[in-house]
Structure 1
Amino acid sequence: MNNSVDRPWFASYEPNVPRSVEIPNVTLNYFLAESTRKYPYNTATNFVLSYLARGLYTVGGKMTYQKLNEMVDRFANALYQLGVRKGDRVALMLPNSPHYVIAFFASMRIGAIVVNNNPTYTARELKHQLVDSGSETIVLLNLFYPRLQEIRAETPLKRVIVAHIYDTLGPLSRFLVHAKQSKQPDWVDVSHDSSVYLFQHLLERYGPNPPTVDVQPEDVALFQYTGGTTGLPKAAMLTHRNLVANTVQVASWLTKTDYGAEKMMCAIPFFHVYGMTVAMIYGLYLGGELTIVPNPRELDHVMDVMQRERSTLFPGVPAMYIRIVNHPRINEYDLKSIKACISGSAPLPIEVQEKFGQITGGRLVEGFGMTELSPVSHCNPVFGKRKKGSIGIPLPDVDAKIIDLETGEDIPFGSDKEGELVVKGPMVMKGYWNRPEETEATFTPDGWLRTGDICKVDEEGYFYIVDRKKDMMIASGYKVLPRDVEEVLFTHPKVLEAVVVGIPHPTRGDDTIKAFIVLKPGESATPDEIREFCKQHLAPYKVPREVEFRAELPKTMVGKVLRRVLIEEEKAKLAGAPAMETAGASSARG
């Protein structure tokens, strides 16, 4: 962004936040190398699987920066000796663990391109990404190996590297975890499969002397596939410069961090670009300790770890914070070590933000990002002015505006008119892999990235996501945005989670608004009760015609509700096809 151009949001920047940051002309490998130089004996990764003896012994393992850097060198050397070269794709299918950190930075060190894969992918979904990306190497956990076997022959894979969750643990933890896991029904023993390489064996076999590879900041570092909640995933190409820039931008926003001393709670998955950048890369950039837990859904474990390890930073998603503030034993936990939390990936209910701050004393703020932005572009000031319902203001070196949905013309700041949010900045992706037409369609003629989000912006430059263009519903001839209805539902005292979708009506030609609701533990409600509540706060055409109660909502691993799944289920019902069974569901039509 041209630094001479003034923007209304600059007045809301905290005193120590610059309008522009200096983006070093380096690759991601530089961050780990620098922190190793500065803090060689500080803990880099603290992998916590469980506690024994009331927390006196941790089942897991720690690595110093010096040790982590050595492991990265060893694995980089192994990949190179196995034939991986600059520009080759290395697929990762791993939970949060030291394996992921090692494999990621080893790939960066030799100029390979990481392809993130969700560990919950079916064989079909995995096949799409391996084939589409042209991945010839994959690193995955042994438990996921059977899914790979189903489709391996149909992919370009030449090298399969299998990791075990206990690979990097100390002797006692390794023994305990292996003894327990090997007795589980889903245990997969691949030790005798000659067609795979074992992660641990590679670390032992190859020395910490990888070849020097000329990797440049403009080289692609990552293929990050879009969430796929609305269609077939496509890979955003993110360069080293994109990810370095976004890390530095995030660092400039969090003004009260102590380099070499922070403890980053890494519960949000690293395979998601948000967890990868804001938790893993930023945490290592700080020289902080990555406190790593492999399963974010085990909330009691996450909270236990945060309390015992005294986590100071906790990037997450609304689903995590919602469950924490509504935890039946929240008063038994001491989470006062938390300084700051940035919530992303989905809208953060206002009530949750305020209650989380009361519980922890820390600052929870809503931000905005997307895969194509590496991912963060906006955030509320952490210790400055926060505005309810706003995604905040652009980070340093990010320019943003909203444009008319029909004409594409700029909409002035402070206008009540809604438009599409478009963004510019050094963190904007290079484009979509092998999708030139979609890449072109995603950018305006003058180079702004179209986010697909409908926004308003006030006179101070605070942006408000109204909804996704693709999620807009038409009811009684009026346009209805799901978030308008969801914000009301979240104010109901019995509602824990809520999502609203539009179901195409077979004869009316518009949408039936349907609310899917998860009630708080011990609560009960009727569809009529919910609708009557909505009628007090919404125009008649916005009130859900149908309400369905569920035990849980379908979500991605990072907690984003899969609207597409809900809509497909409803379409199947209308077509007379067998609907997907959902636990604890009840519904009624109004």
Structure 2
Amino acid sequence: MSLTRKEAGATIHVSPWALDHSTLFKGNIAQFVLNSLANNTASVDKPIYIDALDSTKVITKRNIAENLKKIAYILKTRYGVNEGDAVCLLLTNSIYLPVLHLGILAAGGVVSPANIMYLPNELHHQLHLSGARVIITQPEFIETARQGAAHTEPEAVNVEHILTLEDLWQQATSATESLDPIVYPGDTNKHKHAYYCFSSGTSGKPKGVLTTHANIISNVTQQVISTGNNIYKPGNVFGAVLPMSHIYGLSTFIYTLPALGNTIVVFEKFDFQQVLEKISEHKISVLHIVPPMAVLFAKSPLLAEYPLVRKYIKGIMSGAAPLSKSLGSQLIERLDCQIWQAYGLTETSPINHFPTYDLVNYDVESVGWLMPGLEGRLVDENGQDVHGFNQPGELWLRGPNVMRGYIKNAEATTEVFSADGQWLRTGDVAVVNETGQWYIVDRFKELIKSKGHQVAPAELESVLLSNPDVVDAAVTGIHMPEEGTELPRAFVVLRNATVDPLEVKRWFDSKVARHKKLWGGLVVIDAVPKSTAGKIQRRLLRDRKEDIVHGYRQSKL
């Protein structure tokens, strides 16, 4: 089968799977989920979600259907959530969280999940861009929510209610009335916003991605087509250790797996020993992880204390950052299970490539094949299309799961799309081989993938430059393959020799969320290397070998 075609001089790469666009569900995601639950073969009383720490706490198919409608009613009647209103979620994982997402969407609201590690000023940025009127959180984050809502810089926000999920759940489950999902007729779901997940895009502060109901429905359908008969087949038990505040976790655990009637064991957070303990208790067979978690499974001596893990785990899916072949091989040897990689972006709702087309010949270093209905191009640094196989180029994508743009940021939206507006420029450098398997080999964009999170160097540089002792600054990611992550490292020009670099680092780390801290340390330099156009030459910084690195566990690289 040929997986390429020509179009106006470009080589267009296509999926080996077919997608009939006319069959895509037209309407509200909440109704799409209700239909999917009704149509799969699982019993209405089958647990879809099980609390990892207390197996008596479950959410069944029946619970989902009933409670999402009650949540929609409470949000609309008590908290004034109307069509198009954003609701910010500052929450850890729980068995109740997926139903909350669906209830917000059923009411016509837009879900805007926030990172629980955010400081108040970072949360404020999201509240401002999303226009969130309601924050739903939990007791330990109430103060962060209040402070984030109280900030007035750069502009005031519109938060009217801050409540806990526990209180909302009690109100909903005791309600006698409910609200059916708001109806989006015809093709209107292509324009109705469903999520404002935040991504750094290619640079700058985090941007709110405009993800529509049609985007999510398309991508879930793409995943069901490509995975329903293998990795995601009924009978597997899945461990939800990824945060559902991230689109990777929410797409997998709130939409795709329940649509197929699977059982999901929900962990509030990733605690390695706890996960090892619960794998055998719940007979978990598949985990979705990010590379820093893979390092623990591959190298931690703790695994030897839990021999049943090898018995129950049949597969591990890695995403959010590249998994090296060596690390993948270590996982296979240590766990005696299948290892797969997928590739996606917040901007594509999120999955673009999946490994299930040919698992017999799948290469663990590959991210697999293009998803059904998705098309790709490879474009070189001069804007010319790359032809042939195994030739690198920036990956451009076109398909029904591609976002509409960034909220309140027309400039960034224009930059991320091709001149004709048809193609999303991912910023990632990829190659494709003769079998149609894709490999992500580098990035045109400058994002740092720190501990599974996207970190924009420009954002960190802005913080550094607010320090009066810092004259100039650049931040880049230092790749640490043994840890399965990159570490942010700052290169700074200081005001004078009396300034303590460690004090600057401590100051900076107090200003940002945990994953944005300078885990890679701080280097003092005489001048930041820049091009004639004033662009920071980060590659020159990444290639430096003999620096004294302050605040890193080694003094030299």
Task: Report the TM-score range of the alignment, normalised by the length of the smaller protein.
Answer: 0.7 to 0.9
* 1:181 matched residue in structure 2: none
The residue identity in structure 2 corresponding to 1:217 is N
Whole-Å separation in 2 of the counterparts to 1:565 and 1:143: 25
The residue identity in structure 2 corresponding to 1:81 is T
Preserved CA contact (<8 Å) 2:339 2:364: no
Whole-Å separation in 1 of the counterparts to 2:31 and 2:345: 24
Aligned counterpart for 1:354 among listed residues 301, 323, 329? 329
Preserved CA contact (<8 Å) 1:266 1:280: no
The residue identity in structure 2 corresponding to 1:328 is P
Whole-Å separation in 1 of the counterparts to 2:526 and 2:121: 24
3-state DSSP of counterpart to 1:217: helix
Aligned counterpart for 1:66 among listed residues 62, 68, 78? 62
Compared CA separation, residues 460 and 504, structure 1 to 2 (3 A): farther
Spell out the pairing of 1:270-309 with structure 2 (5 A cutoff).
270-296=244-270, 298-309=271-282
Whole-Å separation in 1 of the counterparts to 2:168 and 2:526: 46
Aligned counterpart for 1:199 among listed residues 160, 168, 172? 168
* 1:521 matched residue in structure 2: none
* 1:397 matched residue in structure 2: 373
Whole-Å separation in 2 of the counterparts to 1:463 and 1:123: 39
Whole-Å separation in 2 of the counterparts to 1:500 and 1:149: 31
TM-score normalised over the length of structure 2: 0.76
Deviation track 1:169-224 (CA, whole Å, cap 9, x = no partner) reads xxxxxxxxxxxxxxxxxxxxxxxxxxxxx224422442342155223522111011
Preserved CA contact (<8 Å) 1:262 1:286: no
Compared CA separation, residues 365 and 437, structure 1 to 2 (3 A): same
Deviation at 1:472, TM superposition (A): 9.8
3-state DSSP of counterpart to 1:329: helix
Preserved CA contact (<8 Å) 1:70 1:208: no
Preserved CA contact (<8 Å) 2:86 2:130: yes
- Stretch deviating more after TM superposition (73-82 or 146-155): 146-155
Compared CA separation, residues 163 and 3, structure 1 to 2 (3 A): same
User: Does residue 449 in structure 1 map to residue 424 in structure 2?
Assistant: yes
Compared CA separation, residues 574 and 99, structure 1 to 2 (3 A): farther
Spell out the pairing of 1:409-424 with structure 2 (5 A cutoff).
409-414=384-389, 416=391, 418-424=392-398
Compared CA separation, residues 573 and 353, structure 1 to 2 (3 A): farther
Preserved CA contact (<8 Å) 2:241 2:269: yes
3-state DSSP of counterpart to 2:556: strand
Whole-Å separation in 2 of the counterparts to 1:567 and 1:585: 9
* 1:439 matched residue in structure 2: 413
Preserved CA contact (<8 Å) 1:92 1:100: no
Deviation at 1:28, TM superposition (A): 1.7
- Stretch deviating more after TM superposition (102-111 or 454-463): 454-463
Compared CA separation, residues 500 and 153, structure 1 to 2 (3 A): closer
Whole-Å separation in 2 of the counterparts to 1:90 and 1:506: 41
* 2:137 matched residue in structure 1: 140
* 2:221 matched residue in structure 1: 248
Deviation at 1:264, TM superposition (A): 2.0
Whole-Å separation in 1 of the counterparts to 2:524 and 2:350: 32
User: Does residue 217 in structure 1 map to residue 218 in structure 2?
Assistant: no
Alignment RMSD, CA only? Answer: 3.5
Deviation at 1:409, TM superposition (A): 1.5
Spell out the pairing of 1:536-555 with structure 2 (5 A cutoff).
none
3-state DSSP of counterpart to 1:466: strand
Whole-Å separation in 2 of the counterparts to 1:275 and 1:469: 25
Aligned counterpart for 1:42 among listed residues 34, 41, 46? 46
* 2:31 matched residue in structure 1: 30
User: Does residue 385 in structure 1 map to residue 361 in structure 2?
Assistant: yes
Deviation at 1:384, TM superposition (A): 3.5
Whole-Å separation in 2 of the counterparts to 1:159 and 1:565: 35
Whole-Å separation in 1 of the counterparts to 2:130 and 2:447: 31
User: Does residue 266 in structure 1 map to residue 235 in structure 2?
Assistant: no
Compared CA separation, residues 411 and 35, structure 1 to 2 (3 A): closer
Aligned counterpart for 2:162 among listed residues 157, 160, 163? 160
Preserved CA contact (<8 Å) 2:4 2:13: no
TM-score normalised over the length of structure 1: 0.72
Whole-Å separation in 2 of the counterparts to 1:10 and 1:85: 39
Compared CA separation, residues 205 and 64, structure 1 to 2 (3 A): closer
Deviation at 1:343, TM superposition (A): 1.2
Contiguous gaps of at least 5 residues in structure 1: 50-57, 165-197, 474-481, 508-554
* 1:311 matched residue in structure 2: 284
3-state DSSP of counterpart to 2:288: coil
Deviation at 1:456, TM superposition (A): 2.8
Whole-Å separation in 2 of the counterparts to 1:127 and 1:472: 22
Deviation at 1:325, TM superposition (A): 1.8
Compared CA separation, residues 306 and 222, structure 1 to 2 (3 A): same
User: Does residue 96 in structure 1 map to residue 93 in structure 2?
Assistant: yes
Deviation at 1:496, TM superposition (A): 4.4
Deviation at 1:34, TM superposition (A): 2.8
3-state DSSP of counterpart to 2:401: coil
3-state DSSP of counterpart to 1:470: coil
Deviation at 1:365, TM superposition (A): 1.3
The residue identity in structure 1 corresponding to 2:142 is Y
Contiguous gaps of at least 5 residues in structure 2: 152-156, 449-475, 495-511, 529-547
Preserved CA contact (<8 Å) 1:8 1:460: no
Whole-Å separation in 2 of the counterparts to 1:20 and 1:73: 30
Preserved CA contact (<8 Å) 1:116 1:223: yes
The count of residues paired between Structure 1 and Structure 2 equals: 471
Compared CA separation, residues 62 and 205, structure 1 to 2 (3 A): closer
Preserved CA contact (<8 Å) 1:19 1:396: yes
Deviation at 1:238, TM superposition (A): 0.6
* 1:167 matched residue in structure 2: none
Deviation track 1:407-459 (CA, whole Å, cap 9, x = no partner) reads x121013254x321111111000111111121111110231100011223334
Preserved CA contact (<8 Å) 1:313 1:339: yes
3-state DSSP of counterpart to 2:99: helix
* 1:188 matched residue in structure 2: none
Preserved CA contact (<8 Å) 2:93 2:244: yes
Whole-Å separation in 1 of the counterparts to 2:279 and 2:362: 25
Whole-Å separation in 2 of the counterparts to 1:103 and 1:306: 26
Compared CA separation, residues 566 and 421, structure 1 to 2 (3 A): farther
Deviation at 1:295, TM superposition (A): 0.7
Deviation at 1:150, TM superposition (A): 2.0
The residue identity in structure 2 corresponding to 1:24 is F
- Stretch deviating more after TM superposition (214-223 or 86-95): 214-223
* 2:71 matched residue in structure 1: 75
3-state DSSP of counterpart to 1:135: coil
* 1:428 matched residue in structure 2: 402
3-state DSSP of counterpart to 1:365: strand
Whole-Å separation in 2 of the counterparts to 1:371 and 1:460: 27
Deviation at 1:47, TM superposition (A): 1.3
Deviation at 1:568, TM superposition (A): 8.2
Compared CA separation, residues 93 and 60, structure 1 to 2 (3 A): farther
The residue identity in structure 1 corresponding to 2:25 is P
Deviation at 1:146, TM superposition (A): 1.1
* 2:458 matched residue in structure 1: none
Deviation at 1:573, TM superposition (A): 11
